[in-house]
Amino acid sequence: MAKILVVDDEVGIRELLLEILADEGHEVRLAESAAEARQAREAGRPDLVLLDIWMPDTDGISLLKEWSANGQLTMPVVMMSGHGTIETAVEATRIGALDYLEKPIALQRLLGTVKRALRNQEALAPRELSLATLGRAPALAEARKRLAQLALSAAPLLLRGDRGMRPELFARLVAAPGAPFLEGVDLLADASSEVLARASGGVMFVGDLSRLGRAEQKNLEFYLARADKHRARLVSFSPVDPRTLAEKHEFDPALLARLSELVLKLPSLREFAEDVPDLAALVLVQLVEARACPPRRLSIAALNALRHHAWPGNLAELESVVRNLAFGALEEEIGLADVERVLAAHAGPAPPPEIALDRPYREAREAFERLYFENLLARENGSMSRVAEHSGLERTHLYRKLKALGLSVGRREES
């Protein structure tokens, strides 16, 4: 009937649950530790997990948090414990556990909980890519903190950043958990109060203002005038600065001024390179969960190579690369050679650097230096010895320069 994973370090509990659940017609897999549970989860999503809290290697609460953080909590989980507390049960529920069973487990309580959990498992679809659990890199951590602060306001918010940054992922951090989040091309196709009603208490996100025509701008103005009444907040994104938006893209300056009451510059992907491995792993998990590809996992070497890539196409490029790796790899483990092959296939002629020549001299020089070292780091795959050699800078001075420019320092080892 259903695939159930039982995780418990007590052999007697495992065998008892196996006997009971198998008699009910379920396919049961057993794991005696968090390590075995991880392997079972990576091999395929079960329909239900019965997870012991107290285990010798990693406790069940930590494993639950881990699955939640990396996008693998896409099945109902019922926690089990012989000496748990109300606080533990509440914490497990907050993280994402469906229910809590106290040992010794009564037969009818077990069967009733399993039946209810399996009814709910279809609602737990694989999560979309999210930035909510990430932020090891200072740039992304700061952006999340600023968005949390800006979420306290109801004023329109304009996000600025590079193309390919998936700004809707940042905009979702402004919406309260469970609140409506409306986006897409249909949003501005025909303005209506019905759309505003659906957005009540949530966020209406408009991506890439530079592509909006006059009619769409009029519809946006309609929403903006009525957003407060419906307790809906407008968040928009532009890959170009406001002046260029008005002068070259024929955007209404008055409307733009109202949309940009609050403005936040988003970091580019290369600015939070430390989070690239987690993002890549999450994208891969989603593909596997959706059964779009066979089970896959990224090796440490593959993750490091992705981390050191320059990502000129930002998050959109990262997702494309991971999809190619998932579909094109010949083995379950995606290795360094796979990453090098796919990145080489994605590589194209670099676009000409864009440096605004109307900036003050110091700002223009800093922009050039950033482009110069970004290109050099990407070309040398993060090797600091080769970057120092080609730039003619002593290593200590090079590290100081990269830090001053806000660039992620590459590998220190020779290569």
159-185: average pLDDT: 91
Regarding the domain delimited by 3-123, which CATH topology (the fold level of the hierarchy) does it fall under? Rossmann fold (3.40.50)
Q: Is the pLDDT of residue 410 over 80?
A: no
Q: What is the DSSP string of 230-243?
A: TT-EEEEEESS-HH
Q: Supply the pLDDT for residue 413.
A: 45
Q: Supply the pLDDT for residue 353.
A: 56
For residue 357, what pLDDT band results from cuts at 50, 70 and 90?
low
Tally of helices (H runs) and strands (E runs) in the chain: 18, 12
- Rounded distance, CA 278 to CA 69, Å? 9
Q: Collapsing DSSP states into helix, strand and coil, what is residue 374?
A: helix
Average pLDDT, the chain: 87
Q: Is the pLDDT of residue 234 over 60?
A: yes
| Choice between 276 and 410, residue whose per-residue pLDDT is larger | 276
Evaluate whether 3-123 and 138-265 have a shared fold: yes
Q: How far from 135 is each of 69, 167, 271, 338, CA to CA, in Å? A: 11, 16, 11, 27
Q: Supply the pLDDT for residue 218.
A: 94
Q: What residue ranges do the domains of the chain occupy?
A: 3-123, 138-265, 269-346, 361-404
Percent of the chain past pLDDT 90, that is, above it, reads 55
Dihedral pair phi/psi, residue 22, rounded to 5°: -65, -35
Q: Is the pLDDT of residue 274 over 50?
A: yes
- Count of residues making up the chain: 415
90-119: average pLDDT: 89
Q: Is the pLDDT of residue 412 over 90?
A: no
| Choice between 4 and 285, residue whose per-residue pLDDT is larger | 4
Q: Supply the pLDDT for residue 414.
A: 42
Q: Supply the pLDDT for residue 94.
A: 81
- Those residues whose C-beta lies under 8 Å from the C-beta of residue 76, and which sit 6 or more positions away, are 47, 48, 49, 98, 117, 118, 120, 121, 124
**CATH class of this structure's domain 138-265:** alpha beta
For residue 252, what pLDDT band results from cuts at 50, 70 and 90?
very high
| Choice between 58 and 412, residue whose per-residue pLDDT is larger | 58
Long-range interactions of 303-307: CB distance < 8 A, separation 24+: 303/276, 303/277, 304/277, 305/336, 305/339, 305/340, 305/343, 305/381, 306/276, 306/277, 306/280, 306/339, 307/273, 307/274, 307/276, 307/277
Give the pTM: 0.64
342-364: average pLDDT: 71
| Choice between 385 and 253, residue whose per-residue pLDDT is larger | 253
Q: How far from 216 is each of 18, 166, 184, CA to CA, in Å? A: 59, 21, 12
Q: What is the pLDDT of residues 10-61, one digit of tens each?
A: 999 999 999 999 999 999 999 999 999 998 987 778 999 999 998 888 899 9
Percent of the chain past pLDDT 70, that is, above it, reads 92
For residue 1, what pLDDT band results from cuts at 50, 70 and 90?
confident
Q: Supply the pLDDT for residue 326.
A: 95
Q: Supply the pLDDT for residue 346.
A: 81
351-356: average pLDDT: 58
Q: Supply the pLDDT for residue 221.
A: 94
> According to the CATH classification, is domain 269-346 in 1.10.8.60?
yes
- List residues bridging with 124 in a β-sheet: none
For residue 289, what pLDDT band results from cuts at 50, 70 and 90?
confident
Q: What is the pLDDT of residues 64-83, one digit of tens each?
A: 988 887 667 888 999 998 87
282-305: average pLDDT: 88
Q: What is the pLDDT of residues 175-233, one digit of tens each?
A: 988 899 999 767 888 888 999 999 999 999 999 999 898 999 999 999 999 999 999 99
